[in-house]
Protein backbone atom coordinates (compact mmCIF):
# COMPACT_ATOMS: atom_id res chain seq x y z
CA UNK A 1 0.00 0.00 0.00
CA UNK A 2 1.89 3.01 -1.19
CA UNK A 3 -1.00 4.66 -2.98
CA UNK A 4 -1.72 7.72 -0.88
CA UNK A 5 -4.57 8.84 -3.08
CA UNK A 6 -6.56 5.80 -1.94
CA UNK A 7 -7.29 7.28 1.49
CA UNK A 8 -11.05 7.48 1.94
CA UNK A 9 -12.14 10.48 4.02
CA UNK A 10 -15.26 9.95 6.13
CA UNK A 11 -17.04 12.70 8.07
CA UNK A 12 -19.24 11.56 10.97
CA UNK A 13 -21.98 14.09 11.78
CA UNK A 14 -25.35 14.39 13.47
CA UNK A 15 -28.10 16.91 14.02
CA UNK A 16 -27.93 16.90 17.79
CA UNK A 17 -25.20 15.90 20.20
CA UNK A 18 -25.06 12.81 22.36
CA UNK A 19 -26.37 10.44 19.69
CA UNK A 20 -23.16 8.43 19.35
CA UNK A 21 -20.89 10.12 16.79
CA UNK A 22 -17.76 9.62 18.85
CA UNK A 23 -18.74 6.06 19.80
CA UNK A 24 -19.27 5.24 16.13
CA UNK A 25 -16.08 7.03 14.98
CA UNK A 26 -13.88 5.20 17.49
CA UNK A 27 -15.40 1.75 17.17
CA UNK A 28 -15.73 1.88 13.40
CA UNK A 29 -12.05 2.86 13.29
CA UNK A 30 -11.05 -0.10 15.46
CA UNK A 31 -13.28 -2.50 13.53
CA UNK A 32 -11.76 -1.32 10.23
CA UNK A 33 -8.27 -1.73 11.72
CA UNK A 34 -9.13 -5.24 12.92
CA UNK A 35 -9.91 -6.01 9.28
CA UNK A 36 -6.44 -4.92 8.25
CA UNK A 37 -7.10 -1.28 7.34
CA UNK A 38 -4.89 1.65 8.31
CA UNK A 39 -7.06 4.19 10.05
CA UNK A 40 -6.68 7.61 11.61
CA UNK A 41 -9.36 9.43 13.61
CA UNK A 42 -9.43 13.22 13.86
CA UNK A 43 -11.33 14.46 16.90
CA UNK A 44 -12.78 17.59 15.33
CA UNK A 45 -15.38 18.18 18.04
CA UNK A 46 -13.28 20.87 19.59
CA UNK A 47 -15.91 21.72 22.18
CA UNK A 48 -16.26 18.24 23.62
CA UNK A 49 -13.15 16.33 22.62
CA UNK A 50 -13.63 12.80 23.94
CA UNK A 51 -12.53 10.48 21.16
CA UNK A 52 -9.52 9.44 23.26
CA UNK A 53 -11.87 8.11 25.92
CA UNK A 54 -13.87 6.13 23.38
CA UNK A 55 -10.63 4.76 21.90
CA UNK A 56 -9.24 3.97 25.34
CA UNK A 57 -5.98 5.85 24.86
CA UNK A 58 -4.34 8.82 26.50
CA UNK A 59 -3.01 11.84 24.69
CA UNK A 60 -0.51 14.12 26.48
CA UNK A 61 -0.97 16.85 23.88
CA UNK A 62 -3.85 17.89 21.70
CA UNK A 63 -4.94 20.16 18.95
CA UNK A 64 -4.69 23.31 21.06
CA UNK A 65 -0.91 22.75 21.14
CA UNK A 66 -0.87 22.66 17.34
CA UNK A 67 -2.94 25.82 17.12
CA UNK A 68 -0.68 27.61 19.58
CA UNK A 69 2.36 26.52 17.62
CA UNK A 70 3.89 24.50 20.50
CA UNK A 71 3.63 21.17 18.68
CA UNK A 72 3.34 19.91 15.15
CA UNK A 73 0.45 17.71 14.15
CA UNK A 74 2.79 14.71 13.94
CA UNK A 75 3.90 15.33 17.53
CA UNK A 76 0.42 15.16 19.01
CA UNK A 77 -0.80 12.03 17.17
CA UNK A 78 -1.12 9.03 19.50
CA UNK A 79 -1.51 5.38 18.69
CA UNK A 80 -4.55 3.57 20.07
CA UNK A 81 -5.83 0.00 19.88
CA UNK A 82 -5.10 -2.06 16.77
CA UNK A 83 -2.77 0.66 15.53
CA UNK A 84 -5.56 3.19 15.07
CA UNK A 85 -3.99 6.64 15.23
CA UNK A 86 -5.74 9.61 16.76
CA UNK A 87 -5.40 13.34 16.28
CA UNK A 88 -6.61 14.37 19.76
CA UNK A 89 -9.07 17.21 19.92
CA UNK A 90 -8.73 20.24 22.14
CA UNK A 91 -11.42 20.44 24.79
CA UNK A 92 -12.57 23.82 25.92
CA UNK A 93 -12.41 25.65 22.63
CA UNK A 94 -15.98 26.84 22.67
CA UNK A 95 -16.96 25.87 19.19
CA UNK A 96 -15.31 25.07 15.89
CA UNK A 97 -17.54 27.81 14.50
CA UNK A 98 -15.76 30.27 16.76
CA UNK A 99 -12.42 29.66 15.04
CA UNK A 100 -11.10 32.58 13.05
CA UNK A 101 -10.21 32.36 9.40
CA UNK A 102 -6.52 32.36 10.34
CA UNK A 103 -6.98 29.55 12.84
CA UNK A 104 -8.86 27.43 10.33
CA UNK A 105 -6.16 28.13 7.77
CA UNK A 106 -3.64 26.91 10.36
CA UNK A 107 -5.60 23.69 10.87
CA UNK A 108 -5.74 23.09 7.14
CA UNK A 109 -2.02 23.79 6.81
CA UNK A 110 -1.18 21.33 9.59
CA UNK A 111 -3.08 18.55 7.83
CA UNK A 112 -0.85 18.81 4.83
CA UNK A 113 1.87 17.51 7.17
CA UNK A 114 0.23 14.10 7.41
CA UNK A 115 2.33 11.86 5.24
CA UNK A 116 1.21 8.45 6.34
CA UNK A 117 -0.45 5.93 4.09
CA UNK A 118 -3.97 5.64 5.36
CA UNK A 119 -6.91 3.64 4.10
CA UNK A 120 -9.41 5.66 6.13
CA UNK A 121 -9.33 9.09 7.74
CA UNK A 122 -12.39 9.47 10.00
CA UNK A 123 -13.40 12.96 11.10
CA UNK A 124 -15.47 12.97 14.33
CA UNK A 125 -17.37 16.24 13.98
CA UNK A 126 -19.23 18.51 16.36
CA UNK A 127 -23.02 18.33 16.32
CA UNK A 128 -24.98 20.72 14.16
CA UNK A 129 -24.20 22.69 11.06
CA UNK A 130 -21.65 25.39 11.82
CA UNK A 131 -19.62 26.74 8.90
CA UNK A 132 -16.66 24.70 10.07
CA UNK A 133 -18.66 21.45 10.22
CA UNK A 134 -19.97 22.14 6.72
CA UNK A 135 -16.46 22.96 5.48
CA UNK A 136 -15.21 19.60 6.76
CA UNK A 137 -18.25 17.72 5.43
CA UNK A 138 -17.77 19.31 2.02
CA UNK A 139 -14.17 18.13 1.89
CA UNK A 140 -14.99 14.53 2.91
CA UNK A 141 -15.89 11.88 0.36
CA UNK A 142 -18.40 10.09 2.56
CA UNK A 143 -20.80 11.59 5.08
CA UNK A 144 -22.21 9.36 7.79
CA UNK A 145 -25.12 10.72 9.82
CA UNK A 146 -25.62 9.08 13.22
CA UNK A 147 -29.10 9.26 14.69
CA UNK A 148 -31.26 7.69 17.35
CA UNK A 149 -34.84 6.52 17.00
CA UNK A 150 -36.16 9.48 18.97
CA UNK A 151 -38.34 12.28 17.59
CA UNK A 152 -35.84 15.06 18.30
CA UNK A 153 -32.91 13.10 16.85
CA UNK A 154 -34.92 12.18 13.74
CA UNK A 155 -36.06 15.78 13.22
CA UNK A 156 -32.53 17.13 13.67
CA UNK A 157 -31.03 14.48 11.38
CA UNK A 158 -33.56 15.34 8.66
CA UNK A 159 -32.93 19.08 9.08
CA UNK A 160 -29.17 18.44 8.82
CA UNK A 161 -29.51 16.30 5.71
CA UNK A 162 -31.83 18.90 4.14
CA UNK A 163 -29.20 21.63 4.56
CA UNK A 164 -26.45 19.32 3.27
CA UNK A 165 -28.47 18.52 0.14
CA UNK A 166 -30.27 21.79 -0.58
CA UNK A 167 -27.74 24.41 0.52
CA UNK A 168 -24.47 22.57 -0.09
CA UNK A 169 -25.42 20.04 -2.79
CA UNK A 170 -23.62 17.24 -0.97
CA UNK A 171 -24.10 13.60 -1.91
CA UNK A 172 -22.73 10.32 -0.54
CA UNK A 173 -24.78 10.61 2.64
CA UNK A 174 -25.32 7.41 4.65
CA UNK A 175 -27.30 6.81 7.82
CA UNK A 176 -26.16 4.89 10.89
CA UNK A 177 -29.02 4.39 13.35
CA UNK A 178 -27.52 4.06 16.83
CA UNK A 179 -28.74 2.75 20.17
CA UNK A 180 -31.66 0.95 18.53
CA UNK A 181 -33.20 -2.23 19.94
CA UNK A 182 -32.69 -4.31 16.80
CA UNK A 183 -31.36 -4.18 13.23
CA UNK A 184 -34.98 -4.30 12.07
CA UNK A 185 -35.76 -1.13 14.03
CA UNK A 186 -32.75 0.61 12.46
CA UNK A 187 -33.78 -0.48 8.96
CA UNK A 188 -37.32 0.79 9.51
CA UNK A 189 -35.97 4.11 10.78
CA UNK A 190 -33.80 4.41 7.68
CA UNK A 191 -36.72 3.51 5.40
CA UNK A 192 -39.02 6.16 6.81
CA UNK A 193 -36.42 8.95 6.73
CA UNK A 194 -35.29 8.01 3.25
CA UNK A 195 -38.84 8.16 1.93
CA UNK A 196 -39.29 11.66 3.39
CA UNK A 197 -36.00 12.69 1.77
CA UNK A 198 -37.16 11.21 -1.55
CA UNK A 199 -40.55 12.93 -1.39
CA UNK A 200 -39.44 16.35 -0.21
CA UNK A 201 -35.87 16.67 -1.46
CA UNK A 202 -35.94 14.37 -4.49
CA UNK A 203 -32.76 12.63 -3.39
CA UNK A 204 -31.81 9.46 -1.55
CA UNK A 205 -29.47 8.55 1.25
CA UNK A 206 -27.81 5.18 1.83
CA UNK A 207 -28.12 2.74 4.66
CA UNK A 208 -25.01 1.26 6.24
CA UNK A 209 -25.74 -0.72 9.39
CA UNK A 210 -27.36 -0.11 12.76
CA UNK A 211 -25.78 -0.29 16.21
CA UNK A 212 -27.92 -1.62 19.04
CA UNK A 213 -28.05 -0.09 22.49
CA UNK A 214 -25.58 -2.11 24.55
CA UNK A 215 -24.41 -1.48 28.12
CA UNK A 216 -20.98 -2.83 27.11
CA UNK A 217 -20.38 0.49 25.29
CA UNK A 218 -20.33 2.37 28.61
CA UNK A 219 -18.66 -0.42 30.56
CA UNK A 220 -15.76 -0.60 28.12
CA UNK A 221 -15.22 3.17 28.44
CA UNK A 222 -15.21 2.87 32.23
CA UNK A 223 -12.64 0.08 31.89
CA UNK A 224 -10.56 2.27 29.50
CA UNK A 225 -10.64 -0.45 26.91
CA UNK A 226 -11.93 -0.56 23.38
CA UNK A 227 -15.34 -2.20 23.14
CA UNK A 228 -14.18 -4.72 20.57
CA UNK A 229 -11.52 -6.25 22.83
CA UNK A 230 -13.39 -5.65 26.11
CA UNK A 231 -16.58 -7.34 24.93
CA UNK A 232 -15.77 -9.21 21.72
CA UNK A 233 -18.97 -11.26 21.80
CA UNK A 234 -21.28 -8.34 22.58
CA UNK A 235 -24.07 -7.32 20.22
CA UNK A 236 -22.55 -3.86 19.68
CA UNK A 237 -19.16 -5.37 18.75
CA UNK A 238 -20.82 -7.61 16.17
CA UNK A 239 -22.66 -4.55 14.80
CA UNK A 240 -19.43 -2.54 14.49
CA UNK A 241 -17.71 -5.43 12.68
CA UNK A 242 -20.66 -5.58 10.24
CA UNK A 243 -20.64 -1.79 9.90
CA UNK A 244 -16.93 -1.91 8.98
CA UNK A 245 -17.69 -4.55 6.32
CA UNK A 246 -20.43 -2.31 4.88
CA UNK A 247 -17.99 0.61 4.81
CA UNK A 248 -15.30 -1.47 3.09
CA UNK A 249 -17.93 -2.51 0.51
CA UNK A 250 -18.83 1.11 -0.40
CA UNK A 251 -17.88 1.92 -3.96
CA UNK A 252 -14.99 4.40 -3.86
CA UNK A 253 -16.20 7.85 -4.85
CA UNK A 254 -14.60 8.73 -8.16
CA UNK A 255 -16.02 12.26 -8.32
CA UNK A 256 -13.75 13.39 -5.48
CA UNK A 257 -10.15 12.27 -5.34
CA UNK A 258 -9.08 10.42 -2.22
CA UNK A 259 -5.96 11.17 -0.21
CA UNK A 260 -5.03 13.68 2.42
CA UNK A 261 -3.56 16.22 0.04
CA UNK A 262 -6.83 16.45 -1.88
CA UNK A 263 -8.81 16.65 1.34
CA UNK A 264 -6.63 19.56 2.41
CA UNK A 265 -6.99 21.18 -0.99
CA UNK A 266 -10.79 21.00 -0.80
CA UNK A 267 -10.78 22.36 2.76
CA UNK A 268 -8.59 25.25 1.68
CA UNK A 269 -10.60 26.13 -1.43
CA UNK A 270 -13.84 26.13 0.56
CA UNK A 271 -12.40 28.42 3.20
CA UNK A 272 -11.31 30.77 0.45
CA UNK A 273 -14.72 30.71 -1.23
CA UNK A 274 -16.38 31.45 2.10
CA UNK A 275 -14.04 34.34 2.83
Question: Using CB under 5 A as the criterion, which residues of the chain lie in contact with Mg ion when the complex forms?
Answer: 21-22, 45
61-70 contact pairs (CB < 8 A, 24+): 61/88, 62/88, 62/89, 62/90, 62/91, 63/87, 63/88, 63/89, 63/90, 63/107, 64/90, 64/92, 64/93, 65/90, 66/106, 66/107, 66/110, 67/103, 67/106, 67/107
* Rounded Cα gap, residues 189 and 198, in angstroms: 14
Q: DSSP string covering 162-201, please? A: HHHHHTT----EEEEEEEES-HHHHHHHHHHHHHHHHHHH
Residue pair 7/259 in contact by the 8 Å Cβ criterion: yes
The nearest distance, CB 248 to ligand ADP, in angstroms, is 21
Nearer to ligand ADP, 14 or 52 (CB): 14
Task: Based on the shown chain and the rule CB under 6 A, indicate whether residue 218 belongs to the binding site for ligand ADP.
Answer: yes
Query: What backbone phi and psi angles, to 5 degrees, belong to 87?
Result: -95, 105
Choose the stretch contacting ligand ADP; rule: CB under 6 A; options: 71-79, 86-94, 209-217, 252-260.
209-217
**In this chain, which of 7, 11, 13, 14 binds ligand ADP, going by CB under 6 A?**
14
Nearer to ligand ADP, 212 or 256 (CB): 212
Nearer to Mg ion, 120 or 268 (CB): 120
User: Residue 84 binds which entry of Mg ion, ligand ADP, none, with Cβ cut-offs from 5 to 8 Å by kind?
Assistant: none
* Rounded Cα gap, residues 6 and 252, in angstroms: 9
Task: Based on the shown chain and the rule CB under 6 A, indicate whether residue 156 belongs to the binding site for ligand ADP.
Answer: no
User: Residue 128 binds which entry of ligand ADP, Mg ion, none, with Cβ cut-offs from 5 to 8 Å by kind?
Assistant: none
* Rounded Cα gap, residues 213 and 179, in angstroms: 4
**In this chain, which of 21, 37, 85, 209 binds ligand ADP, going by CB under 6 A?**
21
User: Residue 218 binds which entry of Mg ion, ligand ADP, none, with Cβ cut-offs from 5 to 8 Å by kind?
Assistant: ligand ADP
Task: Based on the shown chain and the rule CB under 6 A, indicate whether residue 141 belongs to the binding site for ligand ADP.
Answer: no
Spell out, one character per residue from 175 to 204, where the chain touches ligand ADP: x when CB under 6 A holds, - when not: ---xx-------------------------
Cβ density class 202-229: b for 16+ within 10 Å, e for less: ebebbbbbbbbebebbeebbeeeebbbe
Task: Based on the shown chain and the rule CB under 6 A, indicate whether residue 210 belongs to the binding site for ligand ADP.
Answer: no
Spell out, one character per residue from 236 to 265, where the chain touches ligand ADP: x when CB under 6 A holds, - when not: x-----------------------------
Task: Based on the shown chain and the rule CB under 6 A, indicate whether residue 18 belongs to the binding site for ligand ADP.
Answer: yes
CA 102 to chain centre: 24
Q: List residues near ligand ADP by CB under 6 A.
A: 14, 17-23, 50, 178-179, 211, 213-214, 217-218, 221, 236
Amino acid sequence: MTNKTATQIIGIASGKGGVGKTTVSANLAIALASQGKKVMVFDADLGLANAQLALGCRAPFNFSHVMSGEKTLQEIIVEGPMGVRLVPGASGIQHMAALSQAETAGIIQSFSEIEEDLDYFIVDLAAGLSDTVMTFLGACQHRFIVLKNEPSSIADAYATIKVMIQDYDLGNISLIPNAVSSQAEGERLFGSINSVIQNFLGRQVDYLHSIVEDEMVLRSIKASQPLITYAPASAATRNFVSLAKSVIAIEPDTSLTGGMQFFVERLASQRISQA
